Structure 1
């Protein structure tokens, strides 16, 4: 399997609360904007939910005081009357809680769905070089794991934080009103708790980041293994891949368990500290009650409000951890959204008359190096001229730069020097979508999507009729083998077309290209991996495809391009020879002549 560059864990942004990290996280609110009305209503229900929750201790105090004959104040009702009010408040609390959860879920799910769509759209329109430097599993993790983390934050964590803040404000105000002395006693432990929390949180943050990176790495292992499953089986390396995945998962589990231990110690410490303070406060309050300063109802209300405040503060530890993960996920998503994209159309489009090609192509003194290997020049002063309808064959040893020319024609990359023009117009003056819509590529390694044969052929022209799809299949010599399947055109080809043979995949790809009806055709060693029988059928299909089209054919088997209008022989990034087959075989000590003789000897 080809190994792509792995982004090391050190490159992942450190997740911590800072002004910059907070500004990065504001990207979430961009997606909340279309649903701001519903969001505001949700905030109102959060306030109502917190208010009714904190009204319960007050009503309980009134109920206890009324039972002891202390019936003063605005709710001087009988115990039965107060109980009815409490049931009513609890009923309202139930409604308010339902509405806040429903509204925040509605807003969060829709906002995150919009985010997923935008990230996917951005990924689709990234340049080829972007994918060459990143692993598929890593990108998949960004759109799944990271966005899911953000989704949790929007649908639940954000609401819980706002609700917790309101609960704290109301609760602290309530206990201050009842007894400032006991409140100060309870709050005196908070600075100590904060210091310990900062120490714990730093360690938790690092473990959380490491665990998330390890999870992304294990996902990458799965992605690579399944994509290269034929290689895995051919080398009988199932055991190796299982071991590789086991090691990755084991490392993730170790990190997750260590993180769980740390969070467990943290939460346990907070619970002990907070509720230990409650015990201290109750002991002190009992003395005040004995001296007649507090009623039993006041002490009960104080204790319950304190429990709410303490429980909320303890809950902030988990919310803090969740927010740290969300900040990290937001930063990584933000990095994707900041990447430079190609200027391609993201909507179905038709070719404009001013951009319609005739098929003349000029490659004028171009030089090129891949961005990841800028010190290694792949093409050196290449010039090729092709007139409309001509077949240009490009041959040469491996590494000569043949496939790079195809990439430049498609403008996957732009040349460092020189120019490529179509019908006398510089390639950079064409919108990418308009240019590529008039080209078709048939590579050696055909990638079919995991749907049906019909869907794969129709990919060349999504709005094609069924008759057009069938006609393309006939021209590509694919109709007969497709019809032999029980499901015909509805046969599912499997992941990457694994259920079809190499020759069948090639003919489906050719049918796709025929359906697209390109002006310029690019064939990158389209028959090199086929047996003789399959090659004959595919070659006939290619002949049908190339008719009346400008074709650039990268060929491994020279016998397939003898009738080409022009053969370009490349070596070490340069054009070594050019001419027809008849002209090139006459060159003494010529590279083409040598390649042709060697291949004829192998075939003999």
Structure 2
């Protein structure tokens, strides 16, 4: 894992403000006006004491009080604009980071999601970006205001009393010492805390998505215990972060209070010796308190920045995760409508990339345009892997796959995948309307096109019975549909997409006998003039194929028609008797 310094992470984070220079300028202007207003207020207090109160001048006192009120109003208005723009910028930066991370995630291959839990990724989108939003929207504003206030207060203190300012400057390095000691530890424990929160999110995501299995196996009590254990891990990690942050703030506050008290005592002695007026001491202490408060604010923001550094690091890990799918700079283009002629030459593949775990071994297969191919073999033979390679979810370690004589590795990913329509065995239904689900592969389809595809897939008959027809929301993962209904929606989606190559992972396996006959008729029409590759589990699918490819342990061991293979291949005959004929 690549590590980043806090400085580089903050440069990246605040670099996100680049496109919003105008809003940043407004926020900075409001911040400066506000900070200057509160600094000028100290001078107003000095004159109120010396020229109004001590001089016993009621008229002058009234004038100065009105001036102080006017300064306060200006400062309050500036504070409004500062908060408005800075909080807006925090929200905007957070939204931009979420967009950038999501856009990048969509380019990553399934290999990344096979090893990274979805719940953890979601945690980075939510809790981590919320931390950054807080730092940019509030932390940055507070830190800048505190910095300006501290510098301004220190300058005015210098004009008021050189000797007292010298004492304050001696105390400043001591005040900053806890930041140096505890700041790095806060960042480390903040990162660890965010990781534990991500574990909780991942566990909740998994258990709630599979709630039927959880409840069916009465696993609730065990899941509660495991969830509670993860919550305690979060608390343990947070305890370390909170402890060091609290130590840092407490040390700073304690040192600051002692320093201010000591300076006030020295200042009082100067007033008694007539080296300083009461108004000057009042103004000086006003600025000293402001400077001390500024240091305390900066220390608190530094704690937030350390926490944000941990969150930024986790987000940058996602953004810097490279896709395992190599993309060529100048992809080739199909010069004609794709026919669907597919060729695999010496294709070998391993998910781990190591030869000892090879899934496909020296695969050679030519599929003619418009041909129907059935893939048959035991579990683990490599049938589904072949689909993954055709769609370039993974790249081969050896060999070449071509479509219409063009190597798929030289094609743009979008153009390649637009040649395929996929219907998987576990039909994917999105938490959207029936219409959106069918039109997923062709968003610009008309209502008539959508209904025609649904009719062809024999889905229209149950869609029209839903309370809102094609506008019915299907719920997460299509929870409102039966398995057969989901599959018919998925088939309608493939029909509407109208792509030259079909990949069917036994698209009728979840249908009852009556619906299977109807959908097979629709599929026969769909497969006309299209190259079709079917992962077959039923004899009815196999016998209608132009050729049957028998696979075992990542190799093709036989190719032929059903009757030929029944006589010539022992493995096929066993599969036919045990699986395909069931």
TM range (shorter): over 0.9
Describe the shift of the 1:29–1:259 C-alpha distance in structure 2 as closer, same or farther (beyond 3 A): closer
Quote the Cα distance in structure 2 between the aligned partners of 1:560 and 1:41. 68
2:36 corresponds to which of 24, 36, 51: 51
Shift in CA distance, 33/275, structure 1 to aligned 2, threshold 3 Å: same
Shift of 1:403: 0.5
| Structure 2 counterparts to residues 273-284 of structure 1, below 5 A | 273-284=255-266
Residue 174 of structure 2 corresponds to 192
Q: Render the CA deviation track for 1:87-114: whole Å, top value 9, x for unaligned.
A: 1111110111111112223333333322
Map 1:545-560 → 2, pairs under 5 A? 545-560=526-541
Q: Report whether the alignment pairs 1:435 with 2:416.
A: yes
Aligned to 1:299: 281
Mapped pair 1:590 → 2:575: no
In the alignment, which residue of structure 1 is the partner of 2:359?
378
Equivalent in 250, 262, 270 of residue 268 of structure 1: 250
1:232 match: 214
514-523 vs 413-422, greater mean Cα deviation: 413-422
**1:305-331 Cα shifts (integer Å, max 9, x gaps):** 111111111122210111112222222
Tell me if the contact between 1:528 and 1:555 (Cα under 8 Å) persists in the aligned partners: no
Q: How far 1:430 moved relative to its partner?
A: 2.1
For the residue of structure 1 that corresponds to 2:441, the secondary structure is coil
**Higher mean C-alpha deviation, range 501-510 or range 96-105:** 96-105
Are residue 34 (structure 1) and residue 19 (structure 2) matched? yes
* CA shift for structure 1 position 57: 1.2
> Are positions 1:388 and 2:369 aligned together?
yes
Contact 1:506 1:538 in 2 (8 A): no
User: Normalising by the residue count of structure 1, what TM-score does the alignment of the two structures yield?
Assistant: 0.90
Structure 2 counterpart of 1:363, from 344, 366, 372: 344
Cα distance change, pair 297–565 in 1 and its aligned pair in 2 (3 A): same
**Is 1:23 equivalent to 2:23 in the alignment?**
no
Secondary structure of the 1:459 match is helix
Partner SS, residue 332 of structure 1:
helix
Q: Distance in 1 between matches of 2:178 and 2:16?
A: 36
Q: TM-score, normalised by structure 2?
A: 0.93
Cα RMSD (Å) of the superposition?
Answer: 2.4
The structural deviation recorded for 1:508 is: 0.3
Count residues with an aligned counterpart.
578
**What's the secondary structure of 1:415's corresponding residue?**
coil
Shift of residue 68, structure 1, vs aligned partner: 4.7
CA distance in structure 1 between the partners assigned to 2:156 and 2:268 by the alignment: 18
Cα gap change, 1:479/1:467 in structure 2, threshold over 3 Å: closer, same or farther?
Answer: same
What's the CA shift string for 1:462-511, capped at 9, x where partnerless?
Answer: 00000100000010011111122222222222111121111110000000
Structure 1 residues 293 and 375: CA distance shift in structure 2, 3 A? farther
Equivalent of 2:398 in 417, 434, 452: 417
Tell me: CA distance 1:210–1:30, structure 2 relative to 1, closer, same or farther (3 Å).
closer
State the shift of 1:534 in Å: 4.9
Cα distance, 1:572 vs. partner? Answer: 0.6
Q: Is the 8 A contact 1:45 1:97 kept in 2?
A: yes
Question: Which runs of 5 or more residues in structure 2 are unaligned?
Answer: none
Q: What are the residue-to-residue correspondences of 1:166-565 with 2, within 5 Å? A: 166-341=148-323, 354=335, 356-371=337-352, 375-565=356-546
**What is the alpha-carbon distance in structure 1 between the residues aligned to residue 460 and residue 100 of structure 2?**
39
Question: In 2, distance between residues paired with 1:322 and 1:212?
Answer: 13
How does 1:105-120 map onto structure 2 within 5 Å? 105-120=87-102
Match of 1:64 in 2: 49
Deviates more, 1:386-395 or 1:491-500: 491-500
- The answer as to whether partners of 1:112 and 1:151 remain within 8 angstroms in 2 is yes
Range with greater deviation from structure 2 (260-269 or 529-538)? 529-538
Q: Deviation per CA, 1:388-447, whole angstroms, max 9, x where unpaired?
A: 211000000000101111111111122222211111222223211112112111111112
Counterpart CA distance in 1 for 2:92 and 2:336 is: 39
CA drift at 1:343: 7.7
The question of whether the paired residues in 1 share the 8 Å contact of 2:142 and 2:297 is answered with no
Distance in 2 (CA, whole Å) between partners of 1:389 and 1:421 is 15
Q: SS in structure 2 opposite 1:593?
A: helix
- What secondary structure, in the 3-state scheme, does the structure 1 residue paired with 2:16 have? helix
Contact 2:6 2:306 in 1 (8 A): no
**Distance change >3 Å, CA 541–CA 594, structure 1 → 2:** same
Secondary structure class of the residue paired with 2:338? coil
> CA separation in 2, counterparts of 1:233 and 1:447?
23
**Deviations, residues 543-562 of structure 1 (Å, cap 9, x unaligned):** 33322211000012233221
Q: How does 1:119-158 map to 2 (within 5 A)?
A: 119-158=101-140
Distance apart, 1:527 and its partner CA: 3.4
Distance 1:541 1:227, change over 3 A: farther
- Structure 1: gaps spanning 5 or more residues: 1-10, 346-350
Q: CA deviation at 1:38?
A: 2.2
With 316-325 and 198-207 compared, the bigger mean Cα shift is at 198-207
Which SS does the other structure have where 1:444 is aligned? Answer: coil
Q: How big is each residue's C-alpha offset from its partner over 1:260-311, in whole Å with a ceiling of 9 and x where there is no partner?
A: 3443343233222212221211111111111101111011111111111111
Equivalent pair of 1:232/1:238 in contact (CA under 8 Å): yes
